[in-house]
Amino acid sequence: MVPRLGNTQVLIYLLCITAIGVLSRYSWDMSLHYLGPENSGLCACHKCLTESDPWFRELINSSPTPFLSRNYTSSEDDFIWWKHIQNERRNFDSYKTTVDRLFQIFPPIPDVVGPSPDRCRTCAVVGNSGNLKGSHYGPLIDSHDIIIRMNHGRTKGYEADVGNKTTHHVMYPESAINLDNTTHLVLFPFKIDDLLWLLKSFDPGENSANKARRANKDLVMILNPAFMKYVHEMWLGKKGNYPSTGFLTLALSTQMCDEVNVFGFGADRDGNWNHYFEILKNKQLRTGPHAGMHEHEVILKLKEQQKIGVFKGW
């Protein structure tokens, strides 16, 4: 027979249960507080990009400011490295004057938000490889917070495989397309003429009523040449003449997001380096001045180390 408790006993019993609950919660909170200093500044993702890996954290933290701003431009040493990419003949003063002109038009400080323990920001870096054909990655790509496409990458007619959302579009003059009013134009400049092209593209005097608008000028971001040099030296060990647009975009995404997934990089299943939106005509096409195979090996290594996700499409 179960004894019947009096009112006083019931009250004491409830107080004890409450006290146990409070102490348990206190112990849990204290354990989180104890872990806090080690994880300070990390994200709210299940696994943050730089979590539990001092080497990779140091690699990310050693990056120069990824975008130019009114308050920051490249050093002369960085400029000297950068000018050899396209045999730029103008001097550092010409470069600085051009950059000063840029920030009379474009946002003085780029729209980049740092990491926070209260937020998990995910990036989809979408390349243009033919291995995206038939992948059905569209919904997965569109589920990311930041979706970066590059050069002639397009979505219309390919939504099932590549998605239809774009938050940032990487380009340079030779690969430029017009963007909608909500997509960031991310310029990768390889020479001073690229910076001058950007100025001309947004000069009201150059844009007639019949000329298509390039992008929203308040969403323009300009990659720092020092960042290109950093990726070439620190990520690629100076292999190749300079990093490819795709690899630069991948490295850039690690500065913008807490979790990075890569789509449409590398060759297709037959080993061809082609684009999902084109009919393959030249099966001898490779990666030009870039260390394409080495870049691919670095990407696979990052995948093996669970730093990034790589979706190869087949």
Catalytic residues: 242, 290
CB-based contacts of 125, cutoff 8 Å, min separation 6: 148, 246, 249, 250, 253, 260, 261, 262, 263, 265
Helix (H) or strand (E) holding 149: strand 146-150
* CB-facing half-sphere around the CA of 217: CA atoms within 13 A: 14
Cα–Cα distance measured from residue 135 to residue 187, given in angstroms and rounded to the nearest whole number: 28
DSSP annotation of 196 reads: H
61 burial via Cβ count (<10 Å: 0-12, 13-18, 19+): exposed
Helix (H) or strand (E) holding 169: strand 168-171
Cα–Cα distance measured from residue 155 to residue 235, given in angstroms and rounded to the nearest whole number: 30
Cα–Cα distance measured from residue 187 to residue 185, given in angstroms and rounded to the nearest whole number: 6
